[in-house]
Amino acid sequence: MESIQVSLQGKNSQALPKGISAKAAIEQLNGAVPPEVFAVKANGVEIDLLASLETDSTLQPLMFDSPEGKEIYRHSSTHIMAQAVKECFPTAQLTIGPAIEGGFFYDFAFERPFTPEDLEKIEARALDIIKRNLSVSRREFSKEEAIEFFKSRGEPYKVELIQGFPDGEPVSAYTQGDFVDLCRGPHLPATGYVKAFKLLNSAGAYWRGDERNPMLQRLYGTSFPSAEALQAHLDNLEEIKRRDHRKLGKDLDLFSIQDETGPGLILWHPKGAQIRLLIENFWREQHLANQYELVYSPHVARLDLWKTSGHVDFYKENMFTPMPVESSEYQLKPMNCPFHIMVYKTHLRSYRDLPIRYGELGTVYRYERSGVLHGLMRVRGFTQDDAHLFCRPDQLGEEVQKVLKFITSMLGTFGFTEFKMFLSTRPEKAVGTIDQWDQATLALETALKDGGYAYQEDPGEGVFYGPKIDVKIQDALGRSWQCSTVQIDFNNPERFGLTYVGEDGKTHQPIMIHRALLGSIERFFGILLEHFGGAFPAWLAPVQVMVLPISEKHQGYAQEVEKNLRREGCRVVLDLRNEKIGLKIREAEKAKVPFMIVVGDREAEAQMVAVRQRNGKNLGTMSIIDIVTLIREDMPEAVKKGSLLFE
């Protein structure tokens, strides 16, 4: 009998008969297959546990704890859900059903949306399929056979998918009981491997993600290897709901969005505005310290400006409708760039002047389709922490490098230290020559590499005028948010005829960098709100200290304490209401005020204050100076000093 060399993660290599199953091979090498192993990677390729090995193989068992393992587990789970749907509703047609972050979904073509009762029924059936512990087997077809097979089963969407596959390559399908689904695999060996399964919700989705295609019914679910893990996941979803910035924004009275005002337009209430002001002040301070110059620009401008910039051609569907003014048309600004360009153009610039860095907290208005608006995260009017750098080609690399440092230190100050960087390249709809694009992309790539940043490529995701680097941050709940962006632009300098005089006395064209650190103040504020769950650190808290007198006779001393704290620059509120101390504390806790000061006879006598933190911790009695120091120490270094963030 022919034999092959098989090893387990590179160790215990043994000669085993060719064609042995991965499972049997592991049994030979390891004695037994641990029950939590449900698939393997053979020479880096994921295969079924029961797949046969035909060549020398290095095996790596796959379990739920690896990303690949999770995907297989969830993929099998979605097959179970699909089987349940087919059993409950035989006329539902299968389309696609992948594993996603945190679970899986499956899209069905069905004559009506699934109701909550349907979901219960489907979930019960899925649990039954798991209980039945059906074995899952792989089968390969030729493309033609597969088409015939799925035609005969009344699955036109599957047929359409297969028709798009390359000719001549085998098509695989997986069977569990009476259920057969087109699938690349691998899968769990049997349905019973799924230990905890939950159907989450249903929603509409377009076939192949195109709104011109039929609407399908999408079911979302998740699965885990234990009931505890599933519960932990559900608890996490609850926590995300609790931290929803829309809920916190209302509870903490930070902002509102009202029907009468218009969807996607934010009203900043005093406390929210206070936090925003702190963010903005810090932002301005840092920009001035880092040799940016701050400018202001109007909210509307002649439409012609946007024709020159190319926005009318490339961005029209996201712009508000222009308004007629006298004999010309004006446009609510969707971008700040043209204004900064116009400031640049007011002088003849020398190569010695460059780089020129114009920064602005510029409010822009974009028409977003009604269905996409979402609290502060996606709005129709928002303020970009925008800047445009005009530089010489030889300065490009260094400028991008500096911006990347600025990004990481700025975001770091707000408590975000996990970054993911993405390099986006030329999209289909683009301006400029391929040569310019290559040059700009190379500059970004070099800056990323020189700075030692890990990054991922995002092909075709650049802006129409140039490639970009996007930075995503991770919040306290592990979710990713895009904030910063750095974009190179050769196009606008050309469109607007920007120049500088070089050392050679001749005219040259500067390169522009568009960049934002926080992205949009509204969105960033929403992210911060969810990140901290509303409990802002003291340096950002709208109210840092509540002074709570025990009874009316302590009001005088409380007022004195309040005045002293205010004099020291603290944001302090005095609660003089005729209420018990327990209620005042409860309400200060609910408002997530970092420090509470209780004053009664003892404190007035000693000229001290009793300090309590919002987490319930009692810090005991201290002097006013002590509490002021406590608050100051809580500030990040950069905020304390108001000095350079980098260099």
Partner RNA sequence: GCUGGCGUAGCUCAAUCGGUAGAGCAGCGGUUUUGUAAACCGCAGGUCGGAGGUUCAAUUCCUCUCGCCAGCUCCA
Q: What are phi and psi for residue 105, nearest 5 degrees?
A: -140, 170
User: Total binding residues for RNA by CB under 7 A?
Assistant: 67
- Among candidate residues 79, 187, 402, 514, the one labeled active-site is 514
**DSSP assignment letter at 393:** G
Q: Binder to RNA among 387, 391, 596, 631 (CB under 7 A)?
A: 596
Active site annotation includes 269: no
Binding mask 212-251 for RNA (x = CB under 7 A): ---x--x---------------------------x---x-
User: Encoding tokens for residue 577?
Assistant: 């209401």
Long-range contacts, stretch 15-22, CB < 8 angstroms, 24+ apart: 16/53, 18/53, 18/54, 19/52, 19/53, 19/54, 20/52, 20/53, 21/49, 21/50, 21/51, 21/52, 21/53, 22/47, 22/48, 22/49, 22/50, 22/51, 22/52, 22/53, 22/57, 22/59
Say whether residue 483 binds RNA (CB under 7 A).
yes
Sequence-distant (≥ 6) Cβ neighbours of residue 93 within 8 angstroms: 108, 109, 110, 154, 155, 156, 157
Amino acid at 566: R
Candidates 482, 591, 616; CA nearest to 535 is 591
Q: Point out the catalytic residue in the list 245, 366, 402, 531.
A: 366
Cα within 13 Å of Cα(320), Cβ side: 20
Q: Which of 17, 451, 600, 636 binds RNA (CB under 7 A)?
A: 600
Amino acid letter for position 264: G
Task: Yes or no: say if 19 and 53 are a contact pair by the CB < 8 Å rule.
Answer: yes
Measured CA to CA in angstroms, residue 601 lies from 530, 558, 617 at distances of 39, 11, 21
What's the min distance (Å) between Cβ of 580 and RNA?
Answer: 4
Q: How far is the CB of 305 from RNA (least distance, A)?
A: 20
In the set 184, 449, 590, 640, which binds RNA (CB under 7 A)? 590
| Interatomic CA distance for residues 276 and 268, integer angstroms | 9
Longest dimension (CA), the chain: 98
DSSP of 204-240, one letter per residue? EEEGGG-TTSPEEEEEEEEEESSHHHHHHHHHHHHHH
Q: Which stretch binds RNA (CB under 7 A): 10-18, 87-95, 206-214, 324-332?
A: 206-214
477: its two tokens: 């709940």
Per-residue contact track with RNA, 105 to 144, x per CB under 7 A?
--------x-------------------------------
Exactly one of 132, 151, 602, 640 binds RNA (CB under 7 A); which one? 602
Q: Which of 242, 586, 640, 641 binds RNA (CB under 7 A)?
A: 586
Based on the shown chain and the rule CB under 7 A, indicate whether residue 474 belongs to the binding site for RNA: no
If the CB atoms of residues 264 and 355 are measured against RNA, the closer one turns out to be 264
Residue 287 annotated among the catalytic residues of the structure: no
Q: Work out how close the CB of 159 gets to RNA at its nearest, in angstroms, rounded to a whole number.
A: 21
Structure token digits, residue 481: 């948010």
Asked whether the beta carbons of 536 and 508 are under 8 A apart, the reply is no
Among 377, 387, 398, 463, which residue's Cα sits nearest to residue 426? 463
Q: State the nearest-atom distance from the C-beta of 399 to RNA, in Å.
A: 20
**Minimum gap (Å) between residue 533 Cβ and RNA:** 12
Cα–Cα distance, 622 to 545 (Å, whole number): 14
C-beta of 552: minimal distance to RNA in Å? 4
Smallest distance from RNA to CB 370, Å: 3
Under rule CB under 7 A, residue 327 binds RNA: no
417 contributes a contact to RNA by CB under 7 A: no
Structure token digits, residue 588: 């200060």
Among 165, 206, 314, 646, binds RNA (CB under 7 A): 206
| Rounded distance between C-alpha atoms, residue 60 and residue 68, angstroms | 11
Alpha-carbon torsion 438, 439, 445, 449, what sign? positive
Of residues 337-396, those binding RNA (CB under 7 A): 366, 368-375, 377-380, 382, 384
Q: Does 259 bind RNA (CB under 7 A)?
A: yes
In this structure, what are the phi and psi dihedrals at residue 26, rounded to the nearest 5 degrees? -65, -40
Catalytic pick among 75, 287, 311, 388 = 388
In the residue annotation, 388 being an active-site residue is answered as yes
Residue 198 Cβ vs RNA, minimum distance, rounded to whole Å: 15
> How long, in residues, is the chain?
647
Among 485, 491, 544, 564, binds RNA (CB under 7 A): 485
- Interface with RNA by CB under 7 A: which range of 129-137, 154-162, 439-447, 594-602? 594-602
Q: How far apart are CB 345 and RNA at their closest, in Å? A: 25
187 or 366: CB nearest RNA: 366
Instruction: Assess whether 570 carries a catalytic annotation.
Output: no
Instruction: Decide if residue 515 touches RNA (CB under 7 A).
Output: no
* 644 lines the binding site for RNA (CB under 7 A): no
Residue 386 annotated in active site = yes
* Residue 155 found at the interface with RNA (CB under 7 A): no
Confirm or reject binding of residue 626 to RNA (CB under 7 A): no
Cα separation, 246 vs 379, in Å, equals 13
Question: Catalytic site residues?
Answer: 337, 366, 384, 386, 388, 468, 514
What are the residues binding RNA (CB under 7 A)? 113, 201, 203-206, 209-211, 215, 218, 246, 250, 257, 259, 263-264, 318, 366, 368-375, 377-380, 382, 384, 463, 482-483, 485, 516, 519-520, 522-523, 550-553, 578-583, 585-586, 589-590, 596, 598, 600-603, 610, 612, 614, 616, 618
